[in-house]
Structure 1
Amino acid sequence: MTDGLEKVEVEASNTGELLDALAKDYPALVPVIEAGVSIAIDGRIIATGLMEPLRPDQEIYLMQRLKGG
């Protein structure tokens, strides 16, 4: 979904901008983002929504949400 890249960089000041920038730069991610992702920043899962501030030195992971029962 990222043209084979394991790491990508985008400019964003919060988690909402991050998702928007990823969708713009990597359109194949749009269905995954729209289906729902969890965001981990420096190993901490973010539960505060899309306004979590970001710094350039942070490592961020997106994880697809698991569905089922």
Structure 2
Amino acid sequence: MSVTVRIPTILRTYTGGQSEVTAEGATLADVLDDLEANHTGIRARILDDAGDIRRFVNVYVGNDDVRFLDGLGTATPDGAQLSIIPAVAGG
């Protein structure tokens, strides 16, 4: 299943500056594997050493936060838009 992945500015060095890329996969985990295969190093910026989504990174399939769905097992239907959004902190 092909999905569109919106890439935040901070991760665009892994995608050659592209703000959107396509990836394949039936689940979020599959999509991240495909992203890593085509954009080496990007997965380590999204997942921690335990293989979980980093707590300061939000991932959405459509308008839904995957933390409130099935996490890495969240379905990524054909044509879905996946957004990777790093948390912003400051004061």
Q: Same fold (TM over 0.5)?
A: yes
Paired amino acid for 1:41: V
Q: Are 1:6 and 2:19 matched, yes or no?
A: yes
Structure ranking higher in strand proportion: 2
TM-score normalised by L of structure 1 = 0.78
Give the aligned partner of residue 30 of structure 1.
43
Question: Paired residues, what number?
Answer: 68
Structure 2, unmatched stretches of 5+, are: 1-13, 49-53
Structure 2 match to 1:45 = 65
Could you state the TM-score of these two structures normalised by the residue count of structure 2?
Answer: 0.62
Q: Please tell me the root mean square deviation across aligned C-alpha atoms, in Å.
A: 2.1
Identity of aligned residues (%): 16
| Amino acid in structure 1 at the alignment position of 2:60 | A
Alignment of 1:59 with 2:73, yes or no, is no
User: Gaps (5+ residues) in structure 1?
Assistant: none
Whether contact under 8 Å (1:2, 1:28) holds in the other structure is no
